[in-house]
Amino acid sequence: MTDKVEAAAQKMIENLEKNTGKSLAEWVAIAQSSGLEKHGQIVKFLKTEHGFTHGFANMVAAYARETAVTQQTTDDLVANQYSGKESLRPIYDALITAINEFGDDVHIAPKNSYVSLRRSKQFGLIQPSTKTRVDVGINLDGDVIGGRLEKSGSFNSMVSHRVRLTSLDEVNDALIGWLRQAYEQA
C-alpha cells in the first residue's frame, strides 16, 4: 500500500473508535460472534443492528472475515501436515517456540506441505517429509556444512541447507543457532 492509502485506512480505524467507543478489534469480535460468515451478511448486520455507515461496516466485515480465514487456514494447514504423523508434532512445536523468540519480525507462514519461516525474506522452513522425519530447511550464506547440517540438494530449492530430525531431543542449541544465523541474515 502507498503511504496515503495506509494513512487513510489508519484514520478510518481511528474514526471508528472515536465514533462508536469501540476499537476495530472489538467490532471484529462482535462481527465474528454474530455467527454470520458472508461479507454481505456481516455488513447488513452492522448497518441494521449497530447503525454503521456502509464504509465502516464494509471495513469491519473485511477484517472479521480475514482474521477468521487466516486463523482457520493456518491451524488447518499445520494440522493437515501432521495428520498421520502426530508423533512428529512435538518437534514442530518446539521449533516454533524457539523461533518465535528470535524477534517480533518473525513471520510463520504455513503452506500445504511445509511452514515457511520469514523475516524480510525466507530464512527457513519446517516440513514433515516422512512419517518418521521432519526436515528443517535453512538459508545460510556460504558453504557452511558439517555434522547434521547438510546441503539441501533436491530437498527444496528455496533453502540452501537441511537438517533431518527424527526425535524431539534433536531440537538442540546447534540447530537453533543455525536457524538464528539464517534469521539474522534475512
Q: Are residues 73 and 105 in the same domain?
A: no
Q: Stretch 78-99: mean pLDDT, rounded?
A: 95
pLDDT score at 35:
86
Q: Are residues 170 and 93 in the same domain?
A: yes
Q: Are residues 99 and 65 in the same domain?
A: no
* pLDDT exceeds cutoff 80 at 4: no
Dihedral, CA atoms, 78, 79, 85, 87, nearest 10 degrees? 90
Query: In this predicted structure, which of 67-71, 80-84, 86-90 has the lowest mean pLDDT?
Result: 67-71
Confidence grade of residue 70 (pLDDT, cut at 50, 70, 90): low
What gap in Å lies between CA 75 and CA 121, rounded to an integer?
22
Q: What is the pLDDT of residues 147-157, one digit of tens each?
A: 799 988 887 78
53 contacts 19 by C-beta, under 8 angstroms: no
What gap in Å lies between CA 130 and CA 133, rounded to an integer?
5
153-157 long-range Cβ contacts below 8 angstroms, 24+ apart: 155/129, 156/114, 156/125, 156/127
The tally of domains found in the chain comes to 2
Q: Are residues 96 and 131 in the same domain?
A: yes
Q: Are residues 116 and 132 in the same domain?
A: yes
Cell 472475515, residue located: 65
CA-based radius of gyration for the chain? 21
Confidence grade of residue 67 (pLDDT, cut at 50, 70, 90): low
pLDDT score at 174:
93
Kindly report the pTM of this predicted structure.
Answer: 0.62
Among 43, 78, 113, the domain-final residue is 78
